[in-house]
Structure 1
């Protein structure tokens, strides 16, 4: 079987099933006697096992099978759910996730899980050493069963002769799951397995109808093989999304007792038989095998009510790149139409701009992904951390449906992990300390996401110990982050943000969770590289709140174009508070820094011509200066330029590998006149 065409689907479906397992395991921990939850986990594990075996990932299938045995023992009430058992099952899910990630990155999905398998086996045996059977022991052969398919004389002869040669003749009923989307692909997998061990004599519905998915969820096959019925059933159950397989022997005596009409399809009811595994066939005049499902087949046979499709993210990236080129050309056309000033051309360009605006909205929306894809990993992480640290912690997730650009989603996961681990380790106190402070034993960590303007805010809030100002200042002074003199003038917010400094840690004990001075500085760097910022609010013994502000998208941004001599620079609108014209007489000096009074605040001036070393043809003292007031968190700065050109949407392009770490430049863009404008990194200019 050619598995490459199904690999991407396998990876996506495996991730979904593993996520479902994790979520239901967390529910099971809260309601250990709810066997309905166990059934949900078992179904996800069973499907994953079948998919893995069908795709040839035996290690993945084997571990899932061992986990499935434990779940089966729980749902049959041979084992009672305990936190220790759940620890091992959670560990199994972690291993499975690692295996799937390895397969996604081109690996073979192999991993040493011997210790986990041994633990699962011990749990499976239980306190009374009751072994859970490897497969269902229900007898799958019914020798005297009435034939459910009807055979013509030729088919009867084939079945009779095969019996004389030592072959078994079976009628096999295969039922697919109700939510199976690619029925033709599953039918092909079944026939692929059958033809390895025997021959298919008859199929109902016909092969053509099976290829076109013109059947409900069940189909029937007459099959001759030397394999046992039980082995055939095991193999077929390994095909993903196969819900039931029943194998019955064909009653050949019935051939002489009644006349058969040729190829008549009948509706039948087949007894349900439980078991797990993939498929096999025999020898005779075989029925044509269904064709492999092609990509066209998948789209044609999708259910009528299905209104979503999966699209490879690389295709969306290509689409975005092409649209970015259109944005550049739009700017060029607008520039030309302004110069030519032709009525019909102006009208066409305006209409094209409106259509492109709508197209831009749709493309950006297509790239938006709910932050739920990142948030989903945290409940399991919190559970493990609370057990490792002997703390009681409740995680509340609010606004998981909030959407962010896929590029931002890819980068935000690790910073959030650091912040949540920090809240759990440094923030939430142990139950004894919380009782002494009059707090409930269980601490609460709230993970919240919401939109505001063109930004998404993500907040991590806890009701823990808060930040100890004295301890933070003492560590910062000892490490040389600030001087004693500087500390006297620092506000509470500035002291809080000291914990974001590189190598800073207030942990008294170095552990696996924290204390090595690596983490929050990486968080700050990553968030700022995404065009966002982080702020901290904290009250000692009440709690802390980390707020992350992120732009909705990173590829197309709105900027203010400014000019210095003959060079054009772009300043992101997200950083700009306002623009202003000031007199030279309003500029003052403070600590060798030129500043202005802006609405009662002292704002330092940054002369971009000096920062970027723009050559002047002649030096001249000007009475007025154009200033762009920009902000980074609570800090302000005034960027002095020659003139303002106007607001424009531009495409952010990287400077490439040759121009890395250019101070105060975050990228470049191509303007309508074909010239390149550099994009100013305001965060780098504000210290």
Structure 2
């Protein structure tokens, strides 16, 4: 392809990318003269270069559109919907011709006469006829304002003798010529084809010859920017990725040696590599607004065809995103905006009847949140009728009727993302076939993102998309099972849970599948060893659960070992294993090993833990189990020790957790290392106050409740032991104060049930309140569980 043609296609593509948005905004705000001049200059530049390159079809369409725009600038025509529609049609034709030029390097054949005739009809309305091909080559021009000039200097290649005879020449600057073209007085330049064609050639020669001119020393835009091919950036990204892998290997080598002479140089290399990595990542970043350029035109066309009044509001268009992800979200954004316009926004009559403004609004926003970009598409339309979604889900057999009726509205809305699901009463040429939202979820899941939907019937709908900034270099958790190591992208990890032998009772079986009860929620378990068909092992005494989230579904990935986190370079998998859903790629660790990167979405699909049916079964089983457990706790009675700790309410603890009740004389209380101790049965036992405001030395003797948990023994000092009663310990309210599990009704009085594990941790120098925060998440939890080991998170 000729270099001049390639530059023309590149520049025109960039200019046309924002032209749709400019024209739509111009329709909303006809008085925006600066925007109108910008549109005119873009079309004028395309037309002028077409004449220089001999692109007759493209020049004819652009020239007709330019004439209409010139009449708009001069005030002879007024902005109206049909006129804007014809200009947009001309731009569509220009885009089509440019696309075929890029593909074939020749103009495609086509008849643009009807379009040009429509554009010339608008010219006839302002008293002007369409320009004739045989018009006079030159037309009289009115006096033009004096233009800023650039004094030229004699090029070094001209002999001095000849230079002395050269008259001084003043060449208008590029900006001055653009301003002149934008001025209404310059309309004479576009009066006749013959003069314009020659001016276009001269402009083209001027552009090519400007390199011979000597600038005034100030850097121009072309000197501060540089167009680089995408393949160059991709290669640069691959090279810096390899550098990062080498950095990781060197770091591992130096950290394994206590006094390595390479420690400082490697640290410096680490810092430089990190800075270089961030700089290269920025070269791949593009504003998310680049993916929004087609949306204003889309909304405008839908508004015209449906007869609705819709305005698109965009915020955060400057938010940066990796180019690869930017391309992946264009289709989902188009589907969602189209759905909002077609199904969400009501007609003006319906909105007026509902007490809303006749004009509906679709709000598109983006912002950074941690290592992610959050995109929200919100409309103030009719919202989603959850009852209709529930009925459709039952009709299609996606869920049983009794299960659907028990589901909350927020949960039933998940079925909108099922393939082929639609609540539209009729199918239009825009939407209603039930394929849009399925494409949205599939495309977002493929790049490791999540989609959340919320809606209020009659108020509107909001779709929230959360996607990673980049996919080239990611942070991953290294895990191991069956002697093999794997990388799990941290973007999909919620938390880590350690399961010891004592906690294996928290693993339950529902319909033949394993679930872990995590804070009263049943978490489906997927054993990585079993899924990948690795070597079987003996019964595991303890293991780790990596809690992963795919969309709205969560599951636990069971592994034997959890190592550390690393920034890894994602490498594509080979074609022989590309079909395996469990793998997203591979990488090289710091010690030079090649390990596989797990695809949590693919694992969820293989294990069937992300389907709506599976989640509904799990949630129903969890709900039934919670109800049964709460009923059993409410009916069961046990011995409860009541005591006074100086609070307004009495304190309580299950008697089964109490080892002994003691009284210690003040003289037996010793203080060491900032803690109170007492010699008890041949060992030092820490003593803590049940109330932080309590003075342990203010009472002699002091009542003490002794607790024991394996190798830990503790005395909790109280003011008075009140009673031992038989009652149920069902916590009805959570407690905000550390050391208290919750509030229960015992012996007819509101009583605070203490968290014994909190005091055990406090006595052993651990952070007070940590265990209580974990335990008190469930107000119905039995206090006896407070001495069970807490899952490591």
The bucket for the TM-score relative to the shorter chain is: 0.7 to 0.9
Alignment of structure 1 residues 669-684 onto 2, 5 Å: 669-684=587-602
- Of 118-127 and 555-564, more deviation after overlay is shown by 118-127
Structure number with greater Rg is: 2
Q: Does 1:398 align with 2:315?
A: yes
Whether 2:52 is the aligned partner of 1:54: answer yes
Query: Paired residue for 2:746?
Result: none
Corresponding residue to 2:572 among 654, 661, 686: 654
Query: In structure 1, how many angstroms separate the alpha carbons of the residues matched to 2:306 and 2:10?
Result: 33
Q: Relative to 1, partners in 2 of residues 1:107 and 1:460: Cα closer, same or farther, differing over 3 Å?
A: farther
Q: What is the CA-CA distance between 1:454 and the residue it aligns to?
A: 0.3
- Counterparts of 1:563 and 1:294, CA distance in 2: 62
- Please state if 1:101 is matched with 2:99: yes
- CA distance in 2 between partners of 1:374 and 1:9 (Å): 22
Q: CA separation in 1, counterparts of 2:580 and 2:282?
A: 32
Deviates more, 1:378-387 or 1:507-516: 507-516
* 2:251 aligned with 1:334: yes
**Which aligned pairs between 1:384-463 and structure 2 lie closer than 5 A?**
384-463=301-380
After the TM superposition, list the runs of 4 or more consecutive aligned residues in structure 1 that deviate by more than 6 angstroms: 133-138, 175-178, 239-242, 288-295
Aligned residues: 576
| Aligned-residue offset at 1:322 | 0.7
How far apart in 1 are the matches of 2:424 and 2:178?
52
Contact conserved, 1:54 with 1:240, CA < 8 A, in 2? Answer: no
2:399 is matched with: 482
Closer/same/farther in 2, CA of residues 530 and 103 from structure 1, 3 Å limit: farther
CA shift for structure 1 position 509: 2.0
For 2:563 and 2:73, locate their aligned partners in 1 and report how far apart those are by CA, in whole Å.
70
Query: Could you give the per-residue CA deviations for residues 323-355 of structure 1, whole angstroms, max 9, x where no partner exists?
Result: 111122222223333455551223222221111
Is the 1:576–1:629 contact (alpha carbons within 8 Å) kept by the matching residues of 2? yes
Counterpart of 1:344 in 2: which secondary structure?
Answer: coil
In 1, the alpha carbon distance for the partners of 2:595 and 2:526 equals 19
Distance in 1, matches of 2:134 and 2:21, equals: 26
**Contact 1:431/1:441 (<8 A) preserved:** yes
The residue number in structure 2 matching 1:274 is 189
Deviations 1:206-225 (A, max 9, x none): 45589xxxxxxx99599xxx
Distance, in Å, in 2 between the alignment partners of 1:176 and 1:129 is: 29
- The alpha-carbon distance between structure 1 residues 293 and 611, as it changes in their structure 2 partners (threshold 3 A), is farther
Are 2:528 and 1:611 aligned? no
Q: 1:520 aligns with which of 425, 437, 455?
A: 437
Taking a change above 3 Å as real, the CA distance of residues 534 and 139 of structure 1, as seen in their structure-2 partners, is same
| Cα RMSD (Å) | 3.8
Q: In structure 1, the residue corresponding to 2:106 is in which secondary structure?
A: coil
2:125: which partner in 1? 126
Q: Which moved more, 1:363-372 or 1:5-14?
A: 5-14
Report the alpha carbon displacement of residue 549 of structure 1 after superposing the two structures with TM.
0.5
Q: Please point out which of 72, 87, 90 is paired with 2:88.
A: 90
Assess if the C-alpha contact under 8 Å between 2:48 and 2:200 holds in 1. no
Deviations 1:603-652 (A, max 9, x none): 12111001111113xx3122211111122344322111111111111111
Alignment CA distance shift 1:540-1:661 (3 Å): farther
Q: Is the 8 A contact 1:50 1:240 kept in 2?
A: no
* Aligned match of 2:670: none
Distance 1:485 1:78 in 2: 67
Q: Deviations over 1:410-446 (max 9, x none)?
A: 1111110000000011101111111111111111100
Secondary structure at the residue paired with 1:648?
A: strand
3-state SS of 1:130 partner: coil
Partner of 1:196: none
Distance 2:28 2:148 in 1: 29
Q: Identify the residue that residue 72 of structure 1 maps to in structure 2.
A: 70
Q: Which residue pairs with 1:231 in the alignment?
A: none
After TM superposition, give the deviation of residue 108 of structure 1 in Å.
Answer: 3.1
Q: Partners of 2:568 and 2:545 in 1: how far apart?
A: 21
Which deviates more from structure 2 when the two are superposed, residues 641-650 or residues 122-131? 122-131
Give CA-to-partner distance per residue, 1:88-115, whole Å, 9 cap, x none: 0111112222333343445535363343
- After TM superposition, give the deviation of residue 557 of structure 1 in Å: 0.4
User: Cα 1:130–1:478, aligned 2, differ >3 Å: closer, same or farther?
Assistant: same
Deviation readout 1:9-47 (Å, 9 max, x if unpaired): 323321343245434422332344666654332222111
Q: Is the 8 A contact 1:329 1:672 kept in 2?
A: yes
Gap change, CA 1:595 and 1:110, over 3 Å in 2: same
Is 1:585 matched up with 2:477? no
1:551 equivalenced with 2:497 (yes/no): no
Q: Retained in 2: the 8 A contact 1:370–1:404?
A: yes
Corresponding position of 1:498: 415
Give, in whole Å, the separation in 2 of the partners of 1:569 and 1:493: 35
1:372 to 286, 289, 292: 289
1:470 is displaced (CA, Å) by 1.9
CA–CA distance in structure 2, aligned partners of residues 32 and 289 of structure 1: 34
Residue ranges of structure 2 left out of the alignment (5+ in a row): 159-166, 191-195, 611-793
Q: What does residue 626 of structure 1 align with?
A: 544
> What TM-score, normalized to structure 2?
0.66
Deviates more, 1:572-581 or 1:520-529: 572-581
Q: Secondary structure at the match of 1:513?
A: coil
C-alpha distance in 1 between matches for 2:207 and 2:364: 50
CA distance in 2, matches of 1:531, 1:290: 46
Give the Cα–Cα distance (whole angstroms) in 2 for the partners of residues 465 and 451 of structure 1: 29
Q: Which residue of 2 aligns with 1:311?
A: 228
Say if 2:520 is the partner of 1:600: yes
Task: Give me the whole-angstrom Cα distance separating, in 1, the residues matched to 2:130 and 2:270.
Answer: 70
SS at match of 1:40: helix
CA distance in 1, matches of 2:132, 2:37: 17
8 A contact 2:21–2:294 mirrored in 1: no
Q: How does 1:154-173 map to 2 (within 5 A)?
A: none
Per the alignment, do residues 509 and 93 of structure 1 end up closer, same or farther by CA in structure 2, a change over 3 Å counting? same
Alpha-carbon distance in 1 for matches of 2:309, 2:325: 32
Q: Which residue of structure 2 lines up, in the alignment, with residue 642 of structure 1?
A: 560
Distance in 1 separating the partners of 2:523 and 2:180: 76
CA separation of 1:50 and 1:343: change in aligned 2, threshold 3 A: same
Q: Would the aligned equivalents of 2:120 and 2:129 in 1 still touch at CA under 8 Å? A: no
- For residue 254 of structure 1, what is the aligned residue in structure 2? none
CA contact (8 A) 2:376 2:463 kept: yes
Structure 1 pair 29–209 and aligned structure 2 pair: CA distance change class (3 A) = farther
Render the CA deviation track for 1:94-142: whole Å, top value 9, x for unaligned.
2222333343445535363343223212223237563356799694699
Mapped partners of 1:272, 1:59: distance in 2? 23
2:763 is matched with none
CA contact (8 A) 1:48 1:240 kept: no
Between the aligned partners of 1:428 and 1:272, the Cα distance in structure 2 is 42
Determine helix, strand or coil for the equivalent of 1:41: helix
Give the superposition deviation at 1:80: 3.3
Specify which structure has the bigger relative contact order, considering alpha-carbon pairs within 8 angstroms and separated by 6 or more residues: 1
2:313 and 2:362 in contact (8 A); partners too: yes
Which residue of 101, 108, 111 maps to 1:110?
108
